[in-house]
Amino acid sequence: MDAAHAVDIASLARELREDLATADAPAARSASGWPVVIAEVSALTRNVSPEAYDPYHVSIGPYHHIRNPDLARHEDKIRSLSAVLSAASGGVTLEAYLDVVARMEAQARSCYAHNFNLESNAFVRMLLLDACYVLVHFGGVGVGVGVGGRRGSGRDMMEAVGVVRDVIYLAENQIPFFVVDEIHKLTTPDGGGVPAAEAIAGYVRELLRGQQYSVAMPAVAGPPGPGNLLHLLHMHLTPTATAVLVSSSRATTGSRVAASQRRFGRWRSATEYYCAGVGFRSRALVGKGARSILDVRLDGRGGTLEIPRLRIDAETSRLLRNLMALEQSNPAEAGSHVTAYCVFLSQMAGTVRDVELLSRRGIIAHGLGSHDEVAACLAGLCKGVAFGGDDPGGNYLRATWQGLEESFRSRPRRWAAWLMLKYFRNPWLAVGLAAAGVGLVCTVVQAVYAVMAYTPDA
């Protein structure tokens, strides 16, 4: 054999064994009990809106630790470590924390979809500092350290908002939650205080309530628990069974069986549904109402679509995009209900006329520059996102779409809606039409009596 074409069997075998070990990582994740994977956003999705996925204030986890070293916030994280050490009971040492994290290194690495060129010391250091940062800012650990570490000025408030966005909202900017949980357990070894999952869930719950996105209270402390902070937020945005059942009953009873077999297609615009006689009503997030913005439902008669009010601000698109990115990487663990909602929203409210209509009905509220800006934001929300609408388990709004499609295709309903829109919205036209109808009836009655009174000559 030519020496120039000799094969180094030992070296090639070593490379392939490394590739085989990488291929076994998903199995390790499943066996670990923390199945949610932290993955890079695909290029197809990222290219649509790159700024939606990158942190601006602080990096958490290896992806942006490597890409954006300027966002490491080393001093802030060291202060967080100091706060955790000060809060620890029983004189727990720094070495004890490092030992706990070092024993989780392999498990933590298996939670990422990619390998990183970080040696063990650097990886363990990063995990420890990031976990302490999360606990101090969102878990109530440490006295006198608020979100962002400082208080007072408007700039500090803007930074605090940026930290919330970076640490909680971003799909790539995460560490496995079990690392945070173990650090918290070591800080409170006797079970004192609230578990890390419940403490941070309380923060997330108040955040979502303040934005009027959710009032749900899911169980977060039991197994398997949240995979990371974004997954914890995602757990609060699960549609309720009631909304799904009401929609399903509309699409699968009596003569509607055929409609239930119709393949899922695009949602029609809100304006199209409205012109076909479908009404829109805002659904409150209180009492027996909706638990989150995902609780969309069609009433039992199929005439009114009830949609929880969505408050749109500068961060709404970023949050929804990253929640969809989480679902795209974890279809079995996270489902696809946020993606189903975003597909509904982007197609239902993708034009200025649709946004104007839904704003008048109290379903969309926003503080952006114009309705045009909102429509552009929503219309492009799902570009680059994969979604299978015909899977009832993956598309919780499939039955709602079927019910609306049946209403849209109903000719009597569409004629009634056309008459209502053309004549009865204008009171003078309505009066004129009613008068014309009365006149026609009187003419017919008069003609009938004239015929009955007529007696031909013998």
Q: What is the mean pLDDT of each run of 10 residues along the chain (458 residues)?
A: 66 76 53 74 91 95 93 94 89 92 96 92 97 95 52 61 94 97 88 81 95 92 88 94 53 47 83 92 85 91 89 95 96 94 96 96 93 94 87 86 82 45 50 61 70 60
State how far the alpha carbon of 297 is from the alpha carbons of 234, 308, 318, 399, 420, in Å. Answer: 20, 9, 25, 9, 24
| 283 and 200 part of one domain | no
Report whether 230 contacts 333 (CB < 8 A). Answer: no
| 66 and 203 part of one domain | yes
Residue 387 lies in a domain: yes
Residue 247 lies in a domain: no
User: Domain range holding 230?
Assistant: 33-143+155-236
Distance CA 378, CA 421 (A): 27
| 325 and 352 part of one domain | yes
Cis bond before residue 412 (omega within 30° of 0): no
Report whether 147 contacts 164 (CB < 8 A). Answer: yes
| 41 and 169 part of one domain | yes
DSSP assignment, residue 40? P
| 279 and 425 part of one domain | no
Q: Quick one: angle between helices 94-103 and 177-187, nearest 10?
A: 150
| 229 and 281 part of one domain | no
Q: Which is nearest to 228 in space by CA: 184, 169, 183?
A: 169
State how far the alpha carbon of 351 is from the alpha carbons of 191, 304, 313, 316, in Å. Answer: 53, 20, 18, 18
Q: What is the pLDDT of residue 210?
A: 93
| 406 and 422 part of one domain | no
| 45 and 104 part of one domain | yes
DSSP assignment, residue 423? I
Q: What is the pLDDT of residue 24?
A: 57
Residue 406 lies in a domain: yes
Residue 26 lies in a domain: no
Give one word for 28, left, alpha or beta, with left for phi > 0 and alpha for psi -120 to 50: alpha
| 275 and 372 part of one domain | yes
Strands 310-312 and 364-366: parallel
Instruction: Count up the domains in the chain and report the number.
Output: 3
Any idea how long the chain is? 458
Task: Provide the token pair at 394.
Answer: 């993956």
| 275 and 227 part of one domain | no
| 49 and 129 part of one domain | yes
Assign 163 to helix, strand or coil.
Answer: helix
Strands 279-283 and 297-298: unpaired
